[in-house]
A and B are shown apart, each in its own frame.
Chain A
Amino acid sequence: MNRIRRDMIKAGGGASLLALLAAAGFVRPGTAAAAEWNKAAFEVKTVAEAFTALGAGTPANSVDILMKAPDIAENGAVVPIAIESRIPATESIAVLIERNPNPLAASFNIPAGTETMITTRVKMGETSNVYALVKANGKYFVAKKEIKVTLGGCGG
């Protein structure tokens, strides 16, 4: 079944497959959390679109965002990523994976008093650039790192 999925993704570029699924009602976000869940940002297909949907526009590169993640992930289903922002007044940290069907993986809001560092685990379908998007003082900053995946995570 995995192979079929991969073929379909190859044939359809991934994006159109998901669009089809969405149209057919398979990908249906719930209603309970919908009010605060940024549906648009999670459903777009490219990093640039996700930046736009998050209101980030074109974020500036920053060396003050530290991303701790493996260079090579053996298992794409569980890729540990730690992001630390040293930018003052950091309000939120988002994780985007360029070559996933939907790049935005997670977005964390960091209230004052909480350290601007977050660790989590994400799935990666294939080798990709991973972006850490930080909102600080109303401005957006980004850092990226390429993580090579030897075994994809979406097929499971």
Chain B
Amino acid sequence: MADPMRIRAASKDGVVNVKVLMSHEMETGQRKDAAGKVIPAHFIQSVSATWQGKVVLSAQWGPAVSKNPFIEFNFKGGQKGDKIELTWTDNKGDKRTDEATIN
């Protein structure tokens, strides 16, 4: 299981700024190991962020997103103390969900 995501969510003037740092190799499938064998691709394919059961952002990624991916976005309506939940799924079917409190 991958390490937890680091999520920061801060509310200001009715807009919540969300910053997420995920821990993932994001292996492209194009590199080779020392023995010359191709390292299989392993990357996050889909990401979604929900607040009060409503999706506030969703994304589909290819292997060209950097290792330990970072995203930042803003959405309206969240209040301090609300929870925001992030989920990713990678191409091997691994999943991880983490939540953070808006402050």
Point out residues on A near B: beta carbons under 8 Å.
Answer: 1, 4-5, 17-18, 21, 26-33, 36-38, 42, 77-80, 82, 97, 100-102, 104-111, 113-115, 117-124, 153-156
Contacts and interface: CB of A to CB of B under 8 A. Distances in A.
Interface string B61-91: 1111111011111111100000000000111
Contacts of B55: 111
Interface of B: 15, 26, 28-34, 36, 38, 40-41, 45-46, 54-67, 69-77, 89-93, 95
A29 B91 contact: yes
A123 B29 contact: no
B89 A114 contact: no
The listed residue with most A CB atoms (<10 A of its CB), out of B34, B59, B62, B71, is B62
A114 B93 contact: no
B39 to A, nearest CB: 9
12 contacts: A30-B45, A30-B92, A33-B90, A37-B46, A106-B59, A106-B61, A107-B61, A109-B57, A110-B57, A111-B56, A120-B72, A122-B66
